[in-house]
Structure 1
Amino acid sequence: MKAIDFTTFGDPDVLKLVDVEPPEVRQNDLLVRVHAAGVNRADLLLRTGHYGRPDFGDSRLIGLEVAGEVVSVGDGVKGFAIGDRIMGITGGGAYAELARLDYRMAMPIPHGLDYTQAAAIPEVFVTAHEALVNLGRLTPHESVLIHAAASGVGSAAVQLAHALGARVFATAAGGKLERVRALGADIPIDYKHRDFVEVIHGETNGTGVDVIVDFIGAPYFARNIESLNYGGRLVQVGLLGGGEGATVDLERVIYRHLQILGTVMKSRTQEAKQAMVKRFRDQWLERFADGTLVPVIDSVYPLADAAEAHRRMETNQSIGKIVLTNG
């Protein structure tokens, strides 16, 4: 089968379309003919050597998110059959014509969505739900600040928070604010020209927001703490701005009963990942069919042009997901 692989770390040009052996189906696996694969920030980190060359559990090949048709099932699979249209999170190997994934990491594609749209859902919406609902415990009528709101996970988080009935603050570059507003942000903030701390204090009469979902890290850490309401929760999902050098006012943390939580899917156990997928599926999957939630797609590239897709992500100009397609 055809797949994207690389033999050395480096810029996007190291990604090549090559012939490899198809994956073997294990007891709990679905083998999927990949129609579309989502591109994630973790793919860029893998390509540049951040993770070394690990086996993510299903494959040593690149790619963590697929949408396609089931062509084979393991003996232990429940609830899926050959011919099913599914989307899900793999342990590697999504940039290929065939990929395998544990059936507990898969979901049926909602009615009315094509494969390209479906490939823009699993990783970002499962991560956003975990941050907002399971860890952040966001409830209706609370307020939330979502950083990098035009990113894949950010755009998913804005939609989920809006659907929950929360008041949504969202940071993004100025040219992306209208799109972020259309997704459900009540107060979009141009982070290049406005201080989000001042905006939040002004809009909340100085009390702050109840939950913050942050992908930036150290450059925002102290200001995030300053922006939290009494009993507020900061959920750290990424470190795009780096993780070193962060400072915190510990008196503010303890006297305002703040909570700081970190999460990343890659380092969690397989059982924890499966539970994340189930939590999202049970609460939200039907909301795509009725239009409450929508996959946000920035651009689509053929599998052979994976390098161009990575270049697009590296510009930081994208809004939503970048997707690779087969055929």
Structure 2
Amino acid sequence: MKAITIEEFGHPDVLKLSDVPDPLVRPADLLVRVYAAGVNRADLTHRTGGYGRPDFGDSPIIGLEIAGEVIEKGNAVVGFEVGDRVMGVVGGGAYAELARIDYRMAMPIPAQLDYVHAAAIPEVFVTAHEALMHLARLKPGDSVLIHAAAGGVGSAAVQLAYATGATVYATTDGSKLSRVEHLGADVAIDYKNSDFAEVIASKTDGRGVDVIIDFVGEPYFARNLASLANGGRLIQVGILGGGGKVALELEHILYRHLQIIGTVMKSRTQPEKHEMIKRFREHWLERFEGGGSLEPVVDSTFPLSRAADAHHRMESSENVGKIILTMQPADLL
């Protein structure tokens, strides 16, 4: 099969289209003919050596989410059959014509969705649900600040928060404000020209928000804490602005009853990942059906052979929503 391989870590041009052996199907696996695969920030970390080895996860092939058709299944698989359209999260191996996926990490593709839009769902919406609903315990009437709201997870989080009935504040580039508002943000903040902490203080009369979902890290940390209401929860999903060291006054955590929670799907155990998929599927999957309130946001598509261009697009931070790789002719998508 054709797949993207990495012989050395580095710039996007290290991504090469190669012939590699088909994946071996284990008892709990589905073998999927991949028609579309999502590009994620974790893929950039993989490509540049941030995980320390090329085979971090279940495959030396890059990529974490797929959409395609089941062509074979292991003898322990329950609930899926050959010919089913599925989407889901893999432990590596998505940038390929064939991929294996633990059936407990797979979900049926809603009938009206094509493969491209299905591939824009699993990683980002599952991560957004885990951060907002499971960890932050967001509920109707709460207020939430979502950073990097035009990105993959950010755009999913805005939609889930809006669908939950929360008041949604969101930071993004000024050119993307209207797109973020369309997704459900009540207040979209141009992070380059406004201090989000000042905007939150003004809009909430100094109270702050109940939840913050942050992908940036150290540069935002102090202002994030200042923007939380008493009892507020900061969910740290990424560190795009750098990890670094942060300083905090423990009295603020103690007396304001604040919580700081970190989450990364890739480093979780397989049983934990199964539960994450299950929670999302039970809570939201039907909302992608015809007339539902959720929509996967696709920024652009690239053929598998142009994976390097897809990575350049993500590194530019110009995208709104997901960047998708396609493996088959357009009439199949």
- Name the TM-score class by shorter chain: over 0.9
Matched, 1:224 2:224: yes
> What's the counterpart of residue 183 of structure 2?
183
Residue identity opposite 1:165 in structure 2: G
- The question of 1:118 aligning with 2:118 is answered yes
1:300 corresponds to 2:301: yes
Matched with 2:271 is: 271
Q: Deviations over 1:295-324 (max 9, x none)?
A: 001100000000000000010111100000
Work out the CA distance in 2 between the residues paired with 1:56 and 1:38: 18
Aligned pair 1:250/2:250, yes or no? Answer: yes
Matches of 1:247 and 1:129 in 2, distance apart?
28
Q: Aligned partners of 1:311, 1:177: CA distance in 2, in Å?
A: 22
Which amino acid in the other structure matches residue 265 of structure 1? Answer: M
Number of aligned positions between the proteins? 327
Letter in 2 for 1:281: R
How do residues 37-186 of structure 1 correspond to structure 2 at under 5 angstroms? Answer: 37-186=37-186
Is the 2:139–2:164 Cα contact (8 Å) retained in structure 1? yes
Give deviations 1:129-165, integer Å, cap 9, x for gaps.
0000000000000000000000000000000000000
1:130 and 1:274 map into 2 onto residues whose CA distance is 12
Unaligned ranges ≥5, structure 1: none
1:213 aligns with 2:202: no
Counterpart of 1:49 in 2: which secondary structure?
coil
Aligned partner of residue 76 in structure 1, secondary structure? coil
- Structure 2 partner of 1:287: 287
Task: Give CA-to-partner distance per residue, 1:264-287, whole Å, 9 cap, x none.
Answer: 011110000110000000000000
Aligned position for 2:331: none
Residues 222-244 of structure 1 show CA distances to partners (whole Å, capped at 9, x for unaligned) of 10000001100000000001111
- Further displaced range: 286-295 or 120-129: 286-295
In structure 2, how many angstroms separate the alpha carbons of the residues matched to 1:316 and 1:277? Answer: 27
Q: Are 2:288 and 2:295, in contact at CA under 8 Å, matched by a contact in 1? A: yes
Query: Shift in Å at residue 249 of structure 1?
Result: 2.5
Query: Which one-letter code corresponds to 1:299 in the other structure?
Result: S
CA RMSD after TM alignment: 0.8
Give the whole-Å Cα distance in 2 for the aligned partners of 1:264 and 1:135: 12
- Is the Cα contact below 8 Å between 1:61 and 1:92 reproduced in 2? yes
**Structure 1 residues 311-322: aligned runs within 5 Å:** 311-322=312-323
Distance in 1 of aligned mates of 2:54 and 2:108? 28
1:93-143, Cα deviation, whole Å (9 max, x unpaired)? 100000001000000001200000000000000000000000000000000
Equivalences for 1:232-243 in 2 at 5 Å?
232-243=232-243
- The one-letter amino acid of 2:47's match is R
Shift of the alpha carbon at 1:246? 1.4
CA contact (8 A) 1:58 1:100 kept: no
Per the normalisation by structure 2, the TM-score is 0.97
Give the Cα separation in 2 of the matches to 1:298 and 1:207. Answer: 35
Q: Which amino acid aligns with 1:296?
A: V
Q: How much has 1:200 moved relative to structure 2? A: 0.8
Q: Any idea what SS the aligned residue of 1:285 has?
A: helix
Distance, in Å, in 2 between the alignment partners of 1:302 and 1:265 is: 26
8 Å contact kept, 2:6–2:54: no
Partners of 2:152 and 2:57 in 1: how far apart? 24
Taking the aligned partners of 1:174 and 1:206, their CA distance within structure 2 comes to 24
1:54 CA drift (Å): 4.5
Aligned partner letter, 1:47: R
Give the aligned residue type for 2:94: A
TM-score (norm 1): 0.99
The Cα of 1:52 is off from its aligned counterpart by: 2.1
- Aligned letter for 1:13? D
